[in-house]
Structure formats: structure tokens, C-alpha cells
């Protein structure tokens, strides 16, 4: 794989006060691949992908997306770059005061400005079908179950056709059946829209299902990197504890 | 069996005390630091709002939605309080004026005190409670559940979409609510006067408005825009900068009400001083 990386992180460092969360993280995401990032909770996985979209500012090191240095971009250019990135929040982050339809329209209106209303509705229907929730169009987020909310927020993320997807624990807190469905959705999105994705998880089943390559994060550093097979066959106690 | 060792006991006590003390000073330094950075924060917040207000893509739709939320949804509350304010003021001051044989001055006196002070301040305080807490809680929960971050990554400026629209709506709607409270207060005053004796509606109103001069009305009208600004700014600032974790939502809503009410009173005092100097 000698393609140019879509996301390129070098020696990333981030701390809050005197708590060092990421000490030295370097990783690359290549075009079309699914990269799974493992790590126990509190190891800074969410912080890592928030640095990629510029929600958090790195203390040191560089974060490049499509060869743009995220830390150096001004607000306008960062906005343009973010249009190419989809971010699925750990909590879903659906807009409480809006219906499902309005939730999906929100990014569409702002990122795909030239769509007509008809095209917009068609697009919304298409992604809702993809996540299997076409009948939830006029529901409020509070009327949805946890799994449904996750799926709607996935729909909201993919509705604008991002080229890079960042999934923050897409299956955490869901039942095994829904987890499997979400994992399948992730691979489907990868195939259908040709996206490159970083998938954060500590759900080994989801990791197996989706990963082309894996990274383990521990103590603010990349602890191990390799193919899913390497992880399975590893004798390292920390890795083993994840695969039990 | 462990032996009692007084030296170790005293030593241990001294260490814990000194650790506690140093923790306390640490906390204080952090607090002082916070106070100064807070002021800088507020200042930057306001500058950012002003800049975003005059940017090209003003979020009109959200602005009108907020005007509806803030203005229309507060009407019942303001109707009741406004009317009762006029009614009570009339019933309370009537006996005093009768003692002076000046009961014909009652409508004018009530109208002036309503317009100059009572309606603006009481309405603003009620709005600080209703609107300020509403903004603090809504934006606070949006912050905590990462909805504000979600807006940011769908390349929407949440400052422009959420904050500017709310602050502008408050600046526009609070003065309108105050005018409305003025009107209903005088109506309530008429009702209060009618309870005690038959008062002609037309006569009452002509008596009420006869002594009201432009300079009774105008400074009060101007200051009501500042009340709106204070309520909107405080509510949005507290909500937008809520901490992490669900308890921050309650903290944001609560401190928004407290600070907004306090600032309404302070702004009122400043406004009265300025008006007094100009007259
Ligand atoms: N905005 C923030 N302010 C302060 N501390 C934070 C912030 N975001 C994350 N942290 C801290 O960073 C650590 C890693 O958090 P996170 O990346 O969310 O972990 P996880 O790997 O479970 O996603 C946690 O200890 C958390 O408290
Ligand atoms: Mg996380």
C-alpha cells in the first residue's frame, strides 16, 4: 500500500491541564481502508479524532487531512475541509429540538447548497432506507431508542457523502443484534461511498467485522499496529485481554 | 498489638493539615486566575457575537423562531404579572393619596411609576428567570451532549446559529414585552380603581397619560434594550460555556438566572444615574 495517506498524524500531543492524554501518537489512514482504533476507555480515543476535525487543538505535532494541516487552517478553510469529513459522535449528538428529517436536512442545506428540495428529500429517504429507519422521518429524537438514535446519527453523518468517516464507538451500549447491523452498515458505507474510515471501538466483534488494519492505543501512544490477524495471534497480555 | 505513638500522630496531623492548606491556596490561585480569564472570555464572547452579527449569512429562520420562543411564549406570563402589577400598585397607593386629597393624581402617578421603573425592571427580572434559564439549560445541554460540536463539524458556526440569533431576539423582544407590560399595567390599574368606585375608562386613561412626558418614556425604552442584551448574553454565555457532565446543565441554567437578574438591577441603576444627569 503505497498510496498517499488521507489522514496523516505525526507526534500528536494533547493534554488537559496537567493530565497528559496523548503523549506521542503517529498514524496514517490510507484511501479506502477501515482503520480500527482500540483502547480502553479514557485512553484518549475520542480526543484523538476530535483533533482530526479540529474540535480540539493539538498541543504539538501535526494533523494533516488531505494534506491540509488542520491546526494551521483558518475558520473558513477548516469549514470547507470539514465538509469532507463525517463524524459520528459517541453520544449520537442528534439535535433534540428538531425532527429526524430536520436533523438530516441541517447538514444537507449547509454543505450541499445547490440541491433542490426534491433532491434533498430523495437523498434523505435514501440514507434512511440504508439505515433501515425510513418510517422515523417525522419522529423526534426523544421518541427513538438508543439503537435507533445511533442509526439516525449515522444517517445524518453519511447524508452529505463524506470522503473520510470518523466513528466514535458506534456500537457501544447496543445489543448484539443492533451492533452487528451497525457494523454491517459501516462496511456497506465503505463499499458504497468509497470512504476511508477510522473506527474507534472496544467491541472486538465490531472490530473484526470492519477492520482492514488495527491500532491499539495505550498510555497516550500507539501500543501496537497491524492486521487483525496479528492482533488475534498476539501473545501480549494487554492485547490478549481485549480478545478474551 | 499496635502501640500508641504520639509523635507519629502529631506528625501525621501536621502533614495532612499542611497539605490541606496548600490545596486551599492552590484553589484560590486557580480561582483568581479564573476570574480574570473569565472577564477576558466574556469580552471575547461579546466581540465574537458582534462580528458574527454583521456577517453575511445571518440565520433569519432561527432568529424568527427564537423571537417566537422568547416573545410570544412569554406573553401569558407577562400579561398576568403586568396586570397584577398595575392593580396592586393602585390599591396600595390609593389610601395614601386619599389622605392627601390627591386621588385624581392616582392614574398619572401609577402610569409614571409603571413606565419609568416598575414594568421595565419587573418584566426584565421575569424574563431573566424564564428566558435566561431557558437559554442556559438549552445551550448547556447542547454543549454537554455534543450537539454544538456536531454543528461545528457540519461546518455551521454555532456561535452564529445559536448565540447570535438568541441574543438578537432577546434584544428585540424584551423591549416589546416591556411595552406590553406597560399597557397591561395601566389596564390593571384601571381595574384596581374600578373596584373601589366607578371610574370612567376614558377619563382614567386621559388622567393616566396627561402627566407622562417623552422623557418619562424614552430613557425607560432605551434601557429595556440593554435589559434584553444582558439577559440574552448571560443566558447564552453560561449555556454555551457549560462544562462537561450533565450536572453542568443545571449549573448553567441556575447561574444564568442569578447573574442576569443581578445585572438587570445593576444596569437599571446605571441607567437611572445617566438619565438623572441628563435631565
Ligand atoms: N474537553 C476536555 N477537557 C478536559 N478533559 C478532557 C476533555 N476531553 C477529554 N478529556 C479527558 O481526556 C481523557 C480521555 O478522554 P476520551 O478521549 O474521551 O477517552 P476515550 O478513549 O474513552 O474516548 C479523559 O480522562 C477525559 O477526562
Ligand atoms: Mg470516547
Model confidence pLDDT, tens digit, residues A25-54: 999 999 989 999 998 888 999 999 999 999
Q: Is B152 helix (H, G, I), strand (E, B) or coil?
A: helix
Higher-confidence residue: B17 or A239? Answer: A239
- Across residues B176-189, what is the average pLDDT? 96
Residue A174, classified by CB atoms within 10 Å of its CB into exposed (0-12), middle (13-18) or buried (19+), is buried
pLDDT for the residue numbered A2: 55
For residue A93, which residues of chain B lie inside 8 Å, CB to CB? 145-147, 149-150
Q: What is the pLDDT of residues A87-125, one digit of tens each?
A: 999 888 999 999 999 999 999 998 888 889 999 999 999
- Across residues A177-199, what is the average pLDDT? 89
The span from the CA of B192 to the CA of B194, in Å, is: 5
Q: How many residues does chain B have?
A: 279
Distances (CA, A) of B266 to B133, B270, B272: 19, 6, 10
CA dihedral over A92, A95, A97, A102, signed as positive or negative = negative
Q: Which of B141, B142, B154 sits opposite A106 (nearest CB)?
A: B154
pTM attached to this predicted model = 0.87
Q: Is the pLDDT of residue B90 over 90?
A: yes
| B-chain residue closest to A80, CA distance | B155
Q: Is the pLDDT of residue B1 over 50?
A: no
Give Cβ neighbours of residue A235 (< 8 Å, ≥ 6 apart). Answer: none
- Across residues A116-143, what is the average pLDDT? 92
Q: Is the pLDDT of residue B158 over 60?
A: yes
- Across residues B226-252, what is the average pLDDT? 94
Q: Does B69 touch chain A (CB under 8 A)?
A: no
Place of cell 396600595: B92
| A-chain residue closest to B57, CA distance | A110
Place of cell 438508543: A146
The span from the CA of A103 to the CA of B64, in Å, is: 19
Phi, psi of B253 (to 5 degrees): -65, -45
CB-CB contact of A45 with A200 (8 Å): yes
Residue A217 CA: which ligand is closest? 1
Could you tell me the pLDDT band of residue B120, with boundaries at 50, 70 and 90? very high
Q: Is the pLDDT of residue B52 over 90?
A: no
* % pLDDT > 70, chain A: 99
Q: A1-10, B12-21, B256-265: which has the minimum mean pLDDT?
A: B12-21
> Does A39 sit in the ligand 1 pocket, CB within 6 Å?
yes
Spans of all domains in chain A: 1-84+199-244
Could you tell me the pLDDT band of residue B17, with boundaries at 50, 70 and 90? low
Q: Is the pLDDT of residue B30 over 60?
A: no
How far away, in angstroms, is A37 Cα from ligand 2 center? 11
Angle at B98 between CA B93 and CA B100, to 5 degrees: 100
Spans of all domains in chain B: 1-54, 59-278
Q: Tell the CATH superfamily of the A1-84+199-244 domain.
A: P-loop containing nucleotide triphosphate hydrolases (3.40.50.300)
Q: Is the pLDDT of residue B18 over 60?
A: no
Residue A42 CA: which ligand is closest? 1
Q: Is the pLDDT of residue A228 over 70?
A: yes
What is the Rg, in whole angstroms, of the alpha carbon atoms belonging to chain A? 18
Could you tell me the pLDDT band of residue A17, with boundaries at 50, 70 and 90? confident
Residue A193, classified by CB atoms within 10 Å of its CB into exposed (0-12), middle (13-18) or buried (19+), is middle
Could you tell me the pLDDT band of residue A204, with boundaries at 50, 70 and 90? confident
Packing angle, helices B165-196 and B201-209, rounded to 10: 120
Phi, psi of B228 (to 5 degrees): -60, -45
How far away, in angstroms, is B156 Cα from ligand 1 center? 24
Q: Does B138 touch chain A (CB under 8 A)?
A: yes
* % pLDDT > 70, chain B: 88
Q: Mark B37-48 as b/e (b = at least 16 C-beta within 10 Å).
A: eeeeeeeebeee
- Across residues B115-135, what is the average pLDDT? 96
pLDDT mean across residues, chain A: 90
Q: Which helix (H) or strand (E) holds A26?
A: strand A19-30
The span from the CA of A101 to the CA of A136, in Å, is: 8
The span from the CA of A201 to the CA of B149, in Å, is: 20
The span from the CA of B7 to the CA of B23, in Å, is: 24
Ligand 1 atom 17 nearest Cα: A44
pLDDT for the residue numbered B252: 95
Amino acid at each position: 500500500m503505497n498510496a498517499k495517506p488521507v489522514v496523516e498524524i505525526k507526534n500528536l500531543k494533547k493534554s488537559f491541564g496537567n493530565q497528559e492524554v496523548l503523549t506521542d501518537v503517529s498514524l496514517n489512514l490510507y484511501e479506502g481502508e477501515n482503520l480500527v482504533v482500540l483502547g480502553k476507555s479514557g485512553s484518549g480515543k475520542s480526543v484523538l479524532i476530535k483533533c482530526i476535525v479540529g474540535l480540539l487543538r493539538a498541543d504539538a505535532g501535526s494533523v494533516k487531512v488531505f494534506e491540509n494541516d488542520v491546526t494551521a487552517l483558518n475558520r473558513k478553510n477548516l469549514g470547507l475541509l470539514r465538509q469532507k469529513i463525517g463524524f459520528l459522535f459517541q453520544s449520537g449528538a442528534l439535535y433534540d429540538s428538531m425532527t429526524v428529517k430536520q436533523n438530516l436536512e441541517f447538514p444537507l442545506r449547509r454543505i450541499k447548497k445547490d440541491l433542490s428540495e426534491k433532491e434533498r428529500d430523495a437523498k434523505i429517504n435514501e440514507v434512511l432506507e440504508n439505515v433501515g429507519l425510513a418510517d422515523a422521518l417525522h419522529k423526534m429524537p426523544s421518541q427513538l431508542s438508543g439503537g435507533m438514535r445511533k442509526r439516525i446519527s449515522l444517517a445524518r453523518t453519511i447524508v452529505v457523502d463524506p470522503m473520510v468517516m470518523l466513528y466514535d464507538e458506534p456500537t457501544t451500549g447496543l445489543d448484539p443484534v443492533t451492533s452487528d447491523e451497525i457494523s454491517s452498515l459501516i462496511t456497506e458505507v465503505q463499499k458504497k461511498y468509497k470512504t476511508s474510515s477510522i473506527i474507534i471501538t472496544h467491541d472486538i466483534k465490531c472490530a473484526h467485522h470492519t477492520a482492514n488494519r488495527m491500532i491499539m492505543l495505550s498510555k497516550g501512544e500507539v501500543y501496537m499496529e497491524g492486521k487483525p490477524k496479528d492482533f488475534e495471534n498476539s501473545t501480549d497480555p494487554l492485547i490478549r485481554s481485549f480478545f478474551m | 498489638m499496635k502501640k500508641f505513638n504520639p509523635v507519629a500522630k502529631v506528625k501525621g496531623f501536621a502533614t495532612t493539615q499542611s497539605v490541606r492548606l496548600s490545596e486551599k491556596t492552590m484553589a484560590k490561585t486557580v480561582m483568581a486566575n479564573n476570574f480574570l480569564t473569565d472577564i477576558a472570555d466574556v469580552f471575547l464572547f461579546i466581540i465574537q457575537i458582534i462580528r458574527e452579527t454583521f456577517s453575511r449569512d445571518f440565520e433569519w429562520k432561527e432568529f424568527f423562531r427564537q423571537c417566537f420562543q422568547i416573545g410570544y411564549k412569554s406573553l401569558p406570563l407577562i400579561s398576568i404579572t403586568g396586570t397584577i402589577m398595575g392593580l396592586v400598585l393602585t390599591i396600595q397607593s390609593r389610601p395614601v393619596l386619599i389622605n392627601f386629597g390627591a386621588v385624581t393624581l392616582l392614574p398619572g402617578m401609577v402610569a409614571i411609576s409603571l413606565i419609568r421603573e416598575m414594568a421595565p425592571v419587573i418584566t426584565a427580572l421575569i424574563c431573566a428567570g424564564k428566558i435566561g434559564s431557558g437559554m442556559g439549560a438549552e445551550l448547556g445541554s447542547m454543549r454537554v451532549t455534543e450537539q454544538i460540536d456536531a454543528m461545528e463539524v457540519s461546518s455551521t458556526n454555532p456561535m452564529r446559529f445559536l448565540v447570535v440569533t438568541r441574543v438578537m431576539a432577546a434584544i428585540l423582544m424584551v423591549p416589546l414585552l416591556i411595552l406590553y407590560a406597560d399597557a397591561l399595567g395601566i389596564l390593571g390599574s384601571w381595574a384596581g380603581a374600578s373596584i373601589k368606585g366607578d371610574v370612567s375608562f376614558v377619563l382614567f386613561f386621559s388622567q393616566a397619560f396627561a402627566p407622562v412626558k417623552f422623557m418619562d418614556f424614552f430613557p425607560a425604552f432605551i434601557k429595556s434594550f440593554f435589559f434584553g442584551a444582558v439577559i440574552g448574553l448571560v443566558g447564552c454565555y453560561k449555556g454555551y460555556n457549560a462544562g462537561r457532565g450533565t450536572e453542568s446543565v443545571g449549573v448553567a441554567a441556575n447561574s444564568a438566572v442569578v447573574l442576569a437578574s443581578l445585572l438587570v438591577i445593576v444596569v437599571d441603576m446605571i441607567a437611572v444615574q445617566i438619565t438623572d444627569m441628563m435631565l
